[in-house]
Structure 1
Amino acid sequence: MEIYIKELRLDDLQVNGLKIYQHKDKYCFTSDAVILANFARVKKNEVFVDLGSGSGIISILLAGKYNASMVHAVEIQEYLAKMSKLSVDYNNLAHKIKVHNTPMQTAHKILGKHTMDAVICNPPYTRQGDGEKNQDLEIAICRHEIKVNLEEVIKSAADLVKYGGRFYLIHQVERLSQIFFYFHKYKFQPKRLRFIQGKIGLRPNLVMIEAYSYGNEGLIVEQNLILYDENGQETPELNQIYGRIKK
């Protein structure tokens, strides 16, 4: 599948000179990916896997902003994988990000089983059969469980991560009981949760989770992340995450 630069736009990530290619009329990353990358703890010399990496936004932030040693970006859609490679090359991060055009379910056959320090994933949220699908298949695959379901996401992470390694996931709050069920099945212990509110006064609709492979019990629930204030303006914390203001 060919990529034509004229179909793309180059967006400024507003941190460390990083930029990312996105298609003008197709799938674009959301704030969820940026927030999840910020939630992850990046330790020195660690190797991450970004499952369902899409445009490469999480991988680029982990490597270019948070200084991950190496990130393997795993993306099943050929077009998105090629486009993310363009962004990696543009940002001179090819020595820190490797893009793999492959299903996440079999990524361990390429990268090795139980070899990764940490896995991160911003998966499709909507179950197959729920909600109205976008007519553009590329967008639909990013939003709906067409190519991978929740259990497969968690199993894929378990296949890749080392004993004691970490898994970072963002998902809908309404699916939290399912997530915990599959965490137990695949030997993940949730250690840190942070709920996301779209606005002050609204119930959280998303949750970020840090889980450890074969971890001990003990869960910390952090203060909710609120994206917009009562006037609909972005909160200072959200602006900090985006790099618009300094801490």
Structure 2
Amino acid sequence: MTNDSIIKPEILICQPADGFRFGVDSVYLAWFAQVSGKKRIIDIGSGSGVISALLAGLKRVGQIDAAEMQAPMFSCLERTVEQCGLGHIIKPLNVDIRNYRPDFQYDAAVCNPPYRDPSSGKVPQDETELNARFTTTMNADHLFSFCRSFLKFGASLFLSYDADMMPALFDAGFRYGFEAKRLMAVCPDINIKPKVVLMEFRKGGKRELSFEPPLFQKINGEPSPLHTKIFKGEWE
């Protein structure tokens, strides 16, 4: 295991030295999610807890339930919460959303889910990394099905997703009563097509989608001003 500081020195993320480690899309998603002031949020497939830790450390949120089913990643999640001193905000849950049934509804949800079907190409040998990257244990239907039951009416689900697989989100969202409300493309550089999209879906929302300006990771090979601002923690 390693302990890696992200944005602020006190935000230390425990993650495997080998295998699945969080990427820049998790940081972008935490920045993109409009959850300040929300009373209770669920971070679905929390992994090492990076999104939960960033939301708790950089946005004014109440309670975050960080849901992670895989034992190795759940151990990292617990360690992240402990060493960041965020136990008063983040509650780690070792649950599978396919059968997790809370007796209340959440005010918002965030998720950086696996994108790819395992039949689509070479898959990792490590089971934890496989489940984190491929839809072996959670797909778009599982995600929206849970949110249909356990998000309040009008609540938002914030996602990062593979740009090429975006049609699957629109399809599942529509079938489970969610409308896409915001979309931001994440491009590696100018004149390079997006690899990731950041999206907000709203339960029971009307059909109207706002296209946000693209988030360029770099501009002509240099970190973009927005990327730099995000990684400096200037989120207001």
Match of 1:164 among 129, 154, 168: 154
Report the counterpart of residue 25 of structure 1 in structure 2: 18
Deviations 1:128-150 (A, max 9, x none): 21121111111111111111122
Structure 1 120/15 Cα, relative in aligned 2: closer, same or farther at 3 Å? same
Alignment TM-score, normalising by the size of structure 1: 0.90
Instruction: Determine if contact 1:16/1:65 at 8 Å carries over to the other structure.
Output: no
RMSD: 1.7
Name which of 209, 226, 229 aligns with 1:237.
226
Could you tell me how far 1:48 is from its partner in structure 2?
Answer: 0.8
Q: How far did 1:244 drift?
A: 6.6
Give the drift of 1:246: 8.4
Give the Cα separation in 1 of the matches to 2:194 and 2:203: 26
Partner residue, 1:3? none
State the one-letter code of the partner of 1:243. K
The CA deviation string for residues 64-123 of structure 1, in whole angstroms up to 9 with x for no partner, is 11131111111110111121111101111111111111112122x1x235x100011100
* 2:177 is equivalent to residue 187 of structure 1: yes
- CA deviation after TM superposition for structure 1 residue 58, in Å: 0.5
Q: TM-score, normalised by structure 2?
A: 0.94
Task: Name the structure 2 match of 1:42.
Answer: 35
1:116 to 94, 106, 111: 106
**Alpha-carbon distance, 1:16 to partner:** 6.3
Residue of 36, 53, 61 corresponding to 1:60: 53
Return the alpha-carbon distance in structure 1 between the equivalents of residues 17 and 154 of structure 2.
41
Q: More deviation in 204-213 or 152-161? A: 152-161
The code of the aligned residue for 1:98 comes to K
Distance change (3 Å), C-alpha of 1:131 and 1:50: same
Distance (whole Å) between structure 1 residues aligned to residue 159 and residue 36 of structure 2: 17
SS in 2 for 1:17: strand
Among 196, 215, 221, which residue is 1:206 paired with? 196
Aligned length: 236
Match of 1:132 among 93, 118, 122: 122
Segments of structure 2 that go 5 or more residues without pairing to the other structure are none
Q: Does 1:176 align with 2:169?
A: no
Q: Deviations over 1:149-202 (max 9, x none)?
A: 221122122222111111111111222222111111111111111111111101
Contact 1:194 1:208 in 2 (8 A): yes
Matching residue's letter, 2:27: V
What is the identity percentage for the equivalent residue pairs of Structure 1 and Structure 2? 27
Q: Which runs of 5+ in 1 are unaligned?
A: 1-7
Asked if the contact 1:74/1:102 (under 8 Å) is kept, the reply is yes
Q: 1:125 to 1:45 in 2, by over 3 A?
A: closer
Q: Which amino acid letter does the alignment assign opposite residue 226 of structure 2?
A: E
Q: Runs (4+) of structure 1 moved beyond 4 Å?
A: 244-247
